[in-house]
Structure 1
């Protein structure tokens, strides 16, 4: 009897192992190391993980690109999306150095859970089959549920419970969908599913469609597509702002990475889901932007803004995988930079975790001119105004949908962007209006880490707006995204 050894290659696992090492160090080192020391160590682990992505990108054919018989793949798409995940996590840790204590989440468990969540996020981006993707999704989700409740307050506990209950429903629906896909195709591997979809027997076609729609609904919960978005405003506004920053950037990037793997790779030729996703995108654009118009709490406004941007991001999945993958890869990085900077400023300024109201921002320029100018740039970029990077990101999403024949959705997205100018520009204008009332923000001192994170994000927003090819040139090659199914 021949003993078959498992296909274990450590090179493609290196980025994940480095982040996991940071999580383990935070778990064990929390007993004797100060929290700020652990955070600094985790920053080093994230930078090392990023360096390993660069090494894998430039390594030759001698370096293995997959492990466990293709269940884990370090292909170019995984490296690019993984880099965005690591950047969001790194910026979150930098902001936490200044804001975690006041937010009452300054303990080692916060860093440990965050690093476990990042490990799950990378596992999704590197997944080569449905089981690995599901494992990564659950690691990410479970850590995120606990992070949401970390603050000792009823608001955080309520938001964490809502997130857990609705997230569990989404996970259950997703698992049912994966079971249907396996029943229809007989395989869990992305490449195997892609091959089976084109030669399915009529008897299995209904099972495939049912499984595809269930998986789409499950991912809809994770990325906050309407009508699966109910948890988003309550969780983002009730959780500590630092956690909201993490959920709205790193977790969303990972969920879209999984969605791109499944629908841009394994099910790219699958029937039925394009029409359903088109309707969901239209509803997300309408409801996300309409709800944001009526928000007075600035964190809730940004939460509904995140829902609206989910619609724009999901538009990229409607087109050709190569063109849509490039647009999504660019948009995710830009969205991460915009959202991190905006929420980092809120975390630095707010007196309580309820956040700032829109009216509280009046006269901010006369109290904190640098933060006011930075927040104005973020809001302008989120609105899609040139010359900032948000403009080109939205343009790519419009282009993908329009050239793929989704004219109605494209026009609706353009009109939604015009409507979004109202709720983005109102707080931007208020910040530069004179205000004689006492300052409503926290009277903070020097916050070098947060200032550095905001400055880094702003540089990215401006530079990628003026020179978009600095990043788009990396994500544009079609061969990167045509390998999504592992073929």
Structure 2
């Protein structure tokens, strides 16, 4: 903290000299994980073959980053946390801006990265690779995700977005198996294509606005001119397509199922939660300035956003209904839930933005609990997550309620069914902006998707509540019966406990979450 205070003081002196102002404390959500990654590698050089110091440093860096985002989450929407500001500049001169929505997303993705790190630490004995590299890559991805959420300049926005993605590719392929290499290659090719589309979109954006910043003033000026408006609409749609790959929206979703089932489950959890929250933050940075544009209303943008959202919800839900593998179910569920996250953005209102962030955080919490359960179930003597079929989960809620119970709560949250009130509230809040904006056809299709989703998740819940077959535990060493073990490591136990507690509290008092976003 002393070093950071000195950096902040130095930044203030720099600002007085007329240069860009830098407040290190306000950059802490991205700065702490980045410095933590460097510190982990330094610790590994001084104390090789140690795992606990890497885990401690990584966890502290992520917690410090989340603490640094807390002031922004609690600040009024009209008083965002600003830094990297040009002296005497107009609106949009600050290249880092984090309001309540942005800061809450940063907290969520840093917490999701910590959860993935804890889950991965349980598997270090079973998986090959360098532990320091694992931790450093997770921290680097978290730093990129936290930065892209608050970035207000296209160059920084683009680099931070890729920084949030590229380390995860390495985490997939570092396992050294042929299956992991296939999943990593699929993700890498998708990332390259996404990056190319995003570069084209940023070029069109600068062409339309004459400004490389994500400034509301520049957008309003361009929107007032018909020729510039046409280019700006093409730019935002192109950028939205590039982000569609990151969000796993249909038809840009093909990489998701093979990557989820080929890599380690903790990395799949990281992709399903923290990476998605980073992509949501990147999308909000682009689309937020359009909320105030009413004459003429950007109907083309609303139509494309709504169409991709509904397509993702329906396709993801229908295919998930046939899934007999829990991780494949979670992959297709990620596609469907991404549609729900994007759906309220079609209203192009600040209420829609809050609904999108709330749904993204709700999905992330439920998804992490489900992935934590998946890491605990394995074939006797096999790798973590080696048993994922329906048969392995039959009667799990009866034989192992400490594992099956949280999974049922997570599935109920994703389905939007009581007693998981949080999931129900999230879906109602996601549909409400559409009705207010007169987009009732989208709302009707969303209700249809809810009904289909209930069938998907209730099918798995019925299996969990069925009469259990004979099941072994890791402690017994007995491989009779189905030969399935349920082994909850310390990391999975922490994720299960905290995730379940969060879902329960937020279901009883939804204002805990929605109050932060108001």
TM-score scaled to structure 1, two decimals? 0.91
Q: 1:480 is matched with which residue?
A: none
What is the aligned partner in structure 2 of residue 198 from structure 1? 223
Helix, strand or coil for the counterpart of 2:465? Answer: coil
Aligned with residue 67 of structure 1, among 76, 81, 84: 84
Residues in 2 aligned to 1:321 and 1:264: alpha-carbon distance in whole angstroms: 8
Aligned to 1:277: 305
Is the partner of 1:67 in helix, strand or coil? strand
Q: Which residue pairs with 1:485 in the alignment? A: none
- Match of 1:431? 464
> Residue 161 of structure 2: SS of its match in structure 1?
helix
Equivalent residue in structure 1 for 2:508, among 462, 466, 486: 466
Is the 8 Å Cα contact of residues 73 and 127 (structure 1) preserved in structure 2?
A: yes
Farther off after superposition, 366-375 or 103-112? 103-112
CA-to-aligned-CA distance 1:155-198 (integer Å, 9 cap, x gap): 11101000000111011101101100101110021224333233
- The TM-score normalised by the length of structure 2 is 0.86
* Secondary structure in structure 2 of the residue aligned to 1:379: helix
Q: Distance in 1 between matches of 2:517 and 2:54?
A: 33
Q: 2:73·2:104 contact (CA, 8 Å) conserved in 1? A: no
Shift of 1:354: 5.0
Change (3 A) 1:74 1:283: closer
Aligned equivalents of 1:402, 1:387: Cα separation in 2: 26
* Higher deviation after alignment, 249-258 or 323-332: 323-332
> Is the contact between residue 82 and residue 125 of structure 1 (CA under 8 Å) also seen in structure 2?
yes
Check whether the contact 2:260–2:327 (CA below 8 A) recurs between aligned residues.
Answer: yes
CA RMSD of aligned residues (A): 2.3
- d(CA) in 2 for partners of 1:91 and 1:118? 12
Q: Distance in 1 between matches of 2:65 and 2:468?
A: 46
Q: Structure 2 regions of 5+ residues with no counterpart?
A: 1-16, 87-93, 471-480
User: Quick check: 1:118–1:140 contact (8 Å CA) kept in 2?
Assistant: yes
Q: Determine helix, strand or coil for the equivalent of 2:515.
A: helix
- Describe the SS at the equivalent of 1:71: strand
Q: Secondary structure at the match of 1:350?
A: strand
Measure how far apart 1:365 and its partner are: 3.2
Q: For residue 314 of structure 1, what is the aligned residue in structure 2?
A: 342
Cα deviation digits, residues 255-314 of structure 1 (max 9, x gap): 001101101226763562111112111211111111111111110111001100011111
Task: Measure the CA separation in 2 of the matches of 1:268 and 1:27.
Answer: 46
Deviations 1:337-382 (A, max 9, x none): 1000000110121344555012321122344221011111111111
CA separation in 2, counterparts of 1:283 and 1:454? 32
SS of aligned partner of 1:410: helix
CA deviations on 1:399-427 (whole Å, 9 max, x unpaired) are 12222222122111111111112221122
Q: How does 1:405-424 map to 2 (within 5 A)?
A: 405-424=438-457
Task: Quote the offset at 1:225 in angstroms.
Answer: 0.8
> Does the Cα contact within 8 Å between 2:310 and 2:343 map onto a contact in 1?
no
* Distance 1:195-1:9 versus aligned 2 partners, 3 A rule: farther
Question: Which has the bigger relative contact order, CA under 8 A and spacing at least 6?
Answer: 1
Worse-matched range after superposition: 248-257 or 328-337: 328-337
The 1:20/1:416 distance shift into structure 2, 3 A limit, reads same
User: Deviations 1:231-259 (Å, cap 9, x if unpaired)?
Assistant: 11111111110000001000000100110
Choose from 380, 387, 398 the match for 2:412. 380
Deviates more, 1:428-437 or 1:450-459: 428-437
